[in-house]
Amino acid sequence: MPAMWNIMRTFSVRSVFRTLLVTGVLLTSLRLPAEDGYRLWLRYDRIDDPALLAQYRNAVACIVFPTPSPTLLVARNELLDDLGSLLSKKMTNRTSLADNCLLAGTPSTSPIIAKLLSSQYPDLAGDGYVIHTQQSEGKHLLVIAAHSDIGVLYGVFAFLRLLQTHQPIGSLSLSSSPLIQRRILDHWDNLTRTVERGYAGASIWNWHLLPGYIDQRYIDYARANASIGINGTVVTNVNANSLVLTPLYLQKVRALADIFRPYGIRVYLTAKFSAPVDIGGLKTADPLDPAVQQWWKDKCNEIYSLIPDFGGFLVKANSEGQPGPQTYGRTHMDGANMFADALAPHGGIVMWRAFVYDAGRDSAAPDRFKQAYTEFTPFDGKFRPNVLIQVKNGPIDFQPREPFSPLFGAMPKTPVMMEFQITQEYLGQGTHLVYEAPLFKEVFDADTYANGKGSTVARIIDGSAFHAPLTGMAGVSNIGNERNWTNHPFGQANWYAFGKLAWDHTLSARQIADEWIRQTFSNDATAVSTIEKMMMASREAVVNYMTPLGLHHIMSSSGHYGPGPWLNNAPRADWNPVYYHRADAYGIGFDRTLTGSNALAQYQPQVRQQWLDSNTCDENLLLWFHHISWSHKMKDGQIFWDELCNRYQSGVDTVKWMQRQWQSLTGLIDKERFTQVSMFLDIQEKEAEWWRNACILYFQTFSRMPIPPGVGKPDQTLEYYKSLRFPYAPGTGTSL
């Protein structure tokens, strides 16, 4: 044993594991430490089913893999290393075919692949891939093929996933192409390494050490993203800092771009609208000023001279204090088109965020819900072709449940891209188990009726509804420098689900959960079934114990941590929870019908109709659109007050059920991650009860109704809950 630990001190843990597997040493003979989660879903441990192992070994006896490019070299090494681990077998790359061989490449590297794609997969598009078994020259081949090198890498990861999840590979005919072109992670990371709405430690980008020091984490980040099809990263916060556009920082960005390029990942930056003034010596940033336009053209030329595949800019303008074109009396169209013209010669794009409201003016009246639609729809068709309008999934701000934004479908002549929030700003932050795929799917599956029935949000985003030539989907990252990347082990599932749905939004939330569990925890049937049930119930649980029946934006102002429905002292009306729930002696909810703000008018008639009547409205969205009485009769016969209290209790009960489910897996999950999740579930239970108690007590001051039987009674007073302060809640980092 001492000799073994000397080896482990000499090599990386992953290398030692592979050495032990290839030489036939059983892992079970060692006292291994529990897993810390760093490997994410890329755990290529030896397949523990003897029959399956023998089948896989026989099917992949050798590899023939060309390596004329950095990307194909990455793909080949990934396949050799990871197959070696999975199959406990040393893999080598041959130059000629043999029986039961794996052949990978593009039409330019293999005539067999050229014939296969032209004859059997003529519709394979873009960076899509094929995994196919066939007989050729009397030999049984397993082929991974694509038209592009990055497509081959995607196919390699997909094939490894089949083995990880114990799928049959004897007869394969699989093809997959991305439905959305730009699949991007947005990091709200500052140059100071703070992360706005980040709950997993500091930023992974160590700007001080770049470009000289390349952290292994950057490479593993690229591997993880490529494995799920993510092909872009915005490395800086939307609350932007102009310093990142200076020569010193562009050299640092270049180093990251060089790392990511073989993995098919483009780097993007956030552009602060005032950069020509901040770092350029100009006296204005007016987008119609020729000197300003020339400054941005020169800056783009500089960036592309360093990073030839630079993706473009993400811009937050005239929102929450950020400068923008309206600062100079110009429009969003003027601002976006200025950037577009500077980027167009290089093939870059502009992602112009539709989350717009100026903190200097009370633009919320009469309803902040309506503002993005009001400001952008007049310019439909007037943006340059390389402009994408980036729209949050809902009209307010990443709430646990929102109706889809009315901008989806309202701009048929303009590419509109989705912005989801992976980081759990409003979903329990870093300690609550909340699987977000059901939320993502709920939005994607919503029908906008913008081009007739079936014009779902998904079809708006993938371009098929209006034949948009440019498509995109962004997710606000939940990644930090915590060892396991996301702090909560189940936060990894949301990163994974985002990538999978950006590639193929037709996948089900349950299918993605099953796949992630098998790669991340275990293929054991009991473990998979139990964890999948927990994940599928978790989003509805958090909605119920935080914002049931259409409540929204009722969190505390202290980092959005915890409940604060009573808050009413913010500088702007629409920063206060009372603005949204509007509780009074009569009832509760925001009237967005014709008798209220009439925000419903921004939707197509068929959509309006489903939410127009409080008696037929989807009760999950009831308070988004109606101010109803505390005695309003619900569909199940209960009065609204009782239903509200019971929903809060249901959320708490689901968390307690999740605790029991997790404990039933004792011995099936490694000790370190099992203990970590157990402790987080304990926190989640206490905080669910806190939300229930505080909200019910507060709303009871208006309803004057008793808490119904079966609902837990608060153990503190309302004044106690109001007195709680959390000035150092995580995730409040802001840019300098």
What tokens does 381 get?
A: 């068709």
Assign 3-class secondary structure to 358-414: CCCCCCCCCCHHHHHHHHHHHHCCCCCCCEEEEEECCCCCCCCCCCCCCCCCCCCCC
**Other CB atoms within 10 A of residue 234 CB:** 25
Q: DSSP readout, 496-540? A: HHHHHHHH-TTS-HHHHHHHHHHHHT---HHHHHHHHHHHHHHHH
- Bridge-based pairing of strands 129-136 and 139-146 is antiparallel
**What SS3 class is residue 81?**
helix
Residue type at position 137: E
Q: Are 276 and 296 in contact (CB under 8 A)?
A: yes
Half-sphere exposure for 24 (CA within 13 Å, toward CB): 0
Pinpoint the alpha helices (H) of 187-229. 216-227
The Cα 321–Cα 238 span in angstroms is 12
The two most distant CA atoms of the chain are separated, in Å, by 82
582: left (phi over 0), alpha (psi -120 to 50) or beta: left
How many Cα atoms are found within 13 Å in the side-chain-facing hemisphere of 271?
31
Grouping H, G, I as helix, E, B as strand and the rest as coil, residue 281 is coil
260 phi and psi, to 5 degrees? -80, -25
Place of tokens 């007195």: 723
Catalytic residue among 36, 220, 380, 397: 397
CA-to-CA distance for 650 and 433, rounded, in angstroms? 16
Instruction: Report how far residue 265's alpha carbon sits from residue 259's, in angstroms, rounded to the nearest whole number.
Output: 9
645 Cβ contact partners less than 8 Å away, ≥ 6 residues apart: 696, 707, 708, 711
Tell me if 386 sits within 8 A of 340, measured CB to CB. Answer: yes
**Cα distances (Å, whole numbers) of residue 417 to 119, 314, 531:** 34, 12, 32
**Beta strands per DSSP E along 569-722:** 587-588, 628-629
Q: Helix 70-87 crosses helix 149-164 at what angle (to 10 degrees)?
A: 10
Place of tokens 């043999």: 98
> Which of these, 124, 165, 520, lies nearest to 143 by C-alpha position?
124
CA distances from 302 to 208, 244, 267 (A): 21, 13, 15
| From 425, 462, 643, 687, active-site residue | 425
Which listed residue (49, 320, 362, 618) is catalytic?
Answer: 320
Q: Which residues contact 586 (CB under 8 A, 6 or more apart)?
A: 627, 629, 630
Is 425 considered catalytic here? yes
Helix (H) or strand (E) holding 73: helix 70-87
* Helix or strand holding residue 102 (H, E): strand 101-105
375 among known catalytic residues: no
Rg value, the chain, Cα: 27
DSSP 713: P
How far is Cα 24 from Cα 12, in angstroms, rounded to an integer? 18
Reduce the secondary structure of 405-442 to three states and give it as a string: CCCCCCCCCCCEEEEEECCCCCCCCCCCCCCCHHHHHH
320 is an active site residue: yes
> Which residue blocks in 664-712 are alpha helix, DSSP H?
671-703
Residue 86 CA to its chain's centroid (Å) = 28
Q: Which residues are catalytic?
A: 320, 397, 425
